[in-house]
Chains A and B, each alone.
Chain A
Amino acid sequence: MMRLLCAVLVFVSGVAAAEAAERSRVPPQVAELLTLSGVERQLAQLPESVADGFNATAGRFSAETAERIRVILKDAYRRDAIYPVLTAAMTERYDARQARTAVQALRTPLFRRLQALEDDLVGREGEARIRAFSEQLPDRPPGVERHVLVRRLDSAVGATSAQIEMLTSTVAAFGAVSAGGPSVRDVRAAMQEQIAVGVKNQVLLTMLCAYQTATDDELREYLAFWESSAGRWFTTAVNAGLLRAMSRAAETAARKIRAVAAPTSSRP
């Protein structure tokens, strides 16, 4: 499920580097949760995903500048820049009892299987599968109950809200360092309006596609955890950590990119 949260970065066309994060004593269960939930593996793919996203707008820059920006982005989103910030934020919210419950849930065969289904939709191949799934929906629509379950899942794990928050924070970070650009508040408000529908649609499509082979009963069991106090604790902690890590990375990268690209472009 947490894998879906990181998917947002596929949309980010230019995000940035992180400063060295403060190291803290991270409870071992935090690391295990990030591994079991797939977040850690997703972070390993982050630099390439962000660089891929930038490629869509790279044509606005000279080849040399574009390459320098790619280097900045990959450096900003490297795993060892993001991970310490994420775990530090989670440690601040650490609750040993909730963490134990969450680890137990994520270790079960059902959760591992559903995580694997989510894994299958990561990357370009996954995007293509989701598009194909969308196109056949009018002919093979999922039942109402399935729709209701994935909406509850979205709400429970905060997938749509977290993605919107991370996207707007990232764009706002770039806006904040752009000379003469709109205010951060304006950027955030405009972004919220522009992307809300698209992000939610993508989240729902992804979930509907991912869990095709799961039964409604399995999804209810999955949902029961995410709606439990342990699930809510984990969701809140991970989302807050990801948001902090991504925002910090974006701010740092934006400063570096501005120094590189300022003469020809005010915003990547």
Chain B
Amino acid sequence: MTLVIAAASAVAGGPASSRAVVNGDNVLVFASGSTRSAVVARLERGAEVTIELTTTGPDGEWCQITEGSAAMPLGFVPCGTLDRMPTPRGGRASAGASMSRAIGPPTSVPIHVAGNLSIVSVNLERRQSAFMLIDSGASSTIITPVMLRLLGLSVAPDAPRRKLTVVGGGRIDVPFVRLSSLIVGSAIVRDVEVGVYDVAPQAPVVDGLLGGDVLQRFRATVDAGARRLHLVPLPVAAPRR
């Protein structure tokens, strides 16, 4: 992947990631889901984090985490070093960000690996299949201008725009459009906002990027060995009285 879009705007994530507390002393945070990767941070017992994604591979189950209101994931820790806790919903949203939940039964879809790209097939607007990169570190889901055209849509002159940061630190101004649905396997996310940008120009097969704003509506598990993405839609919290 030559270009990964990460959040730089005030977007603070989707509606339903899982909160957890560190249950050990000086827990090492790794760059990827392996103890052979670089140590990027240490966490004290009791530190609160957000689990963005869980992956299962040869080294066991790993949780990708963020700290506080950080937009970028901090790294990976063994999931056994965390105690999950119930999290009040609805507190992490941004102007214009879609808040719809995912519906449907738990689903499992194949991950296509092409070079260093991990890609899943999704259906957009119930009429166009698309190959999208999996990038839980990106706060926004993106589709390419080509996919936008294939969907028969266009960017309105008054479309909302947000600043996103690309790998290398550059900032880009990206217009957003609203899709009526995004379907992964049998899971449906309705009324979702997506940015419009060519995320991988050297790979024309890539139609976009499935970001944390969508993935956080699920308990998402990447099974690297079986090359499958498991998604369990998260329930909607009852309204507060």
Does B92 interact with chain A (Cβ within 8 Å)? no
- Per the 8 Å Cβ criterion, residues 196-213 of A in contact with B are 196-198, 200-201, 204-205, 208
| Segment of B67-75, B97-105, B145-153, B232-240 engaged in the interface with chain A | B145-153
- Per the 8 Å Cβ criterion, residues 128-170 of A in contact with B are 134-135, 137-138, 141, 144-145, 147-148, 150-151
Cβ contacts under 8 Å, A150 to chain B:
204
Least distance between A82 CB and chain B CB atoms (Å)? 29
Does B114 interact with chain A (Cβ within 8 Å)? yes
Q: Nearest CB to that of B205 among chain A residues?
A: A201
* Interface SS majority for chain A: helix
B146 interface neighbour in A144, A194, A197, A198, Cβ under 8 Å = A144
Least distance between A266 CB and chain B CB atoms (Å)? 22
Give the contact-size bracket for chain B: 20 to 34
Does B46 interact with chain A (Cβ within 8 Å)? no
B202 interface neighbour in A137, A151, A198, Cβ under 8 Å = A137
A197 interface neighbour in B3, B114, B198, B202, Cβ under 8 Å = B114
CB-CB under 8 A for A201 and B227, given A144-B145, A144-B149, A151-B146: no
Cβ contacts under 8 Å, B113 to chain A:
194, 197
CB-CB under 8 A for A194 and B112, given A201-B203, A201-B204, A204-B205: yes
Does B110 interact with chain A (Cβ within 8 Å)? yes
Cβ contacts under 8 Å, A137 to chain B:
201-202, 204
- Per the 8 Å Cβ criterion, residues 178-204 of A in contact with B are 193-194, 196-198, 200-201, 204
For the A-B complex with A144-B146, A201-B204, A201-B206 known, give 8 more contacts whose Cβ atoms are closer than 8 Å: A138-B2, A141-B201, A151-B146, A193-B112, A193-B227, A197-B119, A200-B205, A205-B204
